[in-house]
Amino acid sequence: MKVWVSLALLVAFLPLGQRFALRSAEKSGEAAEIRASYRRPATIPFPDDNPYSAAKAGLGQMLFFDPLLSRSRTVSCATCHNPSLSWGDGLARAIGENPKGLPLRSPSLIDVAFSEPLGWDGKFSDIESVTFGPITGRANMNLTEAELIDRLSAAPAYGDAFASAFGDSAITRPRIEAALATFERTIVAGESPFDRWIMGDDAAISAPAKRGFEIFNGKGRCSSCHSGPSFTDGSFQDIGTATDDDVGRGRLFPTSQKLRYAFKTPTLRDVARRAPYMHDGSVATVEQVIELYDKGGIDRPSRSPSIRPLYLTADEKSDLIAFLQTLTASSPTAPFPDVPGQRAP
């Protein structure tokens, strides 16, 4: 018969020095495991019904940067998702064809392949289904599906590109969706100092940033939602800020108390240069975001259980900011991968 003895009980009978060494080893192992959970994946997921091809990604890139996709021929996908602005637009609210703007901020497309469903309220099941939302949205690009297909059909370069990507020059809505989605899945975060640190370069980030990482995964409870290589678990949370009819995912699930005021957890990749913040662009700086979370937001039934006062000290807040700054890549985007399923090095 085998007797299973609790590790905690076993430790209690060890000499003090051995107990300290064992606990230190346990802590070190746990820290290594946490760091490993943030390592970048080696591949990009592409769906079986829309596999990667270089020709399809190239066509998607053409479409993404082409203002032909808007009624006025002045607005492209890149207007709201600018590579030089970490695939956002730097505005509190997106602006399309209507100068009054849209009600929500443009989310960054960094690591979008890893974060379905999409949209601040999650109304899009995948990247393909997002495509015609902004194109046909009256306040956004304001172009009908039929007009878009007519415009693309009149451009010889697009006939050739569709033929290369799909085998013939027919231009259809599903092909436009597939091409844009393929290109957008290649938008992955560039390498940051944090990535170099977790891969073994101990000098890649500062001592305050290392302390900030511990706060991020501990007292700050940030990793409750901002977890994994993209620093988001893809969940929808009420963080206690939205009010009135700004109910987020609650609009899709009106009987759900927990989803009322819930919005998608965004990636924190390049977060230091993606101000302003929140779904409505209502917070101007990272420092103000941390103050908001430190206070805990509006106490109500829908508020996430992870959101409550943190009581961070000034030094802890400073360390947390130092860590968040290490998530900024040296380049705002990684080079687009050329090999199916592989992310850029």
Same domain for 205 and 291, yes or no, is yes
Same domain for 262 and 228, yes or no, is yes
Distance (Å, rounded) from C-alpha 225 to C-alpha 227? 6
pTM of the predicted protein model: 0.88
Closest CA to 194 of 226, 152, 164, 224: 226
Domain presence at residue 177: yes
Q: Would you list which residues are annotated within the binding site? A: 77, 80-81, 222, 225-226
Domain assignment of residue 261, given as a range: 191-326
Distance (Å, rounded) from C-alpha 90 to C-alpha 277? 9
Domain presence at residue 199: yes
Residues in the chain predicted with pLDDT less than 70, given as ranges, are 1-28, 332-345
- pLDDT value at residue 22: 42
User: For strand 236-237 and strand 263-264, is the pairing parallel, antiparallel, or unpaired?
Assistant: antiparallel
Domain presence at residue 75: yes
Same domain for 228 and 141, yes or no, is no
- pLDDT value at residue 30: 87
Domain presence at residue 223: yes
Non-local CB neighbours of 310 within 8 Å, separated by 6+ positions? 219, 220, 221, 293, 294, 296
Q: Would you list which residues are annotated within the binding site for heme c? A: 77, 80-81, 222, 225-226
**Which CATH number does the domain housing residue 130 bear?**
1.10.760.10
Say whether 196 sits in a helix, a strand or coil.
Answer: helix
Tens digits of per-residue pLDDT, 241-250? 999 999 999 9
- pLDDT value at residue 330: 84
Same domain for 218 and 171, yes or no, is no
User: Which DSSP symbol is given to 107?
Assistant: P
Same domain for 261 and 321, yes or no, is yes
Give the H/E segment covering residue 263.
Answer: strand 263-264
Domain presence at residue 15: no
Same domain for 128 and 242, yes or no, is no
- pLDDT value at residue 29: 76
How many domains in the chain? 2
- pLDDT value at residue 334: 53
Same domain for 196 and 322, yes or no, is yes
Cβ neighbours of 275 (radius 10 Å):
16
Same domain for 204 and 165, yes or no, is no
The residues facing 118 across adjacent strands are: 124
How many residues are given for the chain? 345
Say whether 237 sits in a helix, a strand or coil.
Answer: strand
- pLDDT value at residue 3: 34
Non-local CB neighbours of 333 within 8 Å, separated by 6+ positions? 83, 86, 87, 110, 187, 188, 189, 190
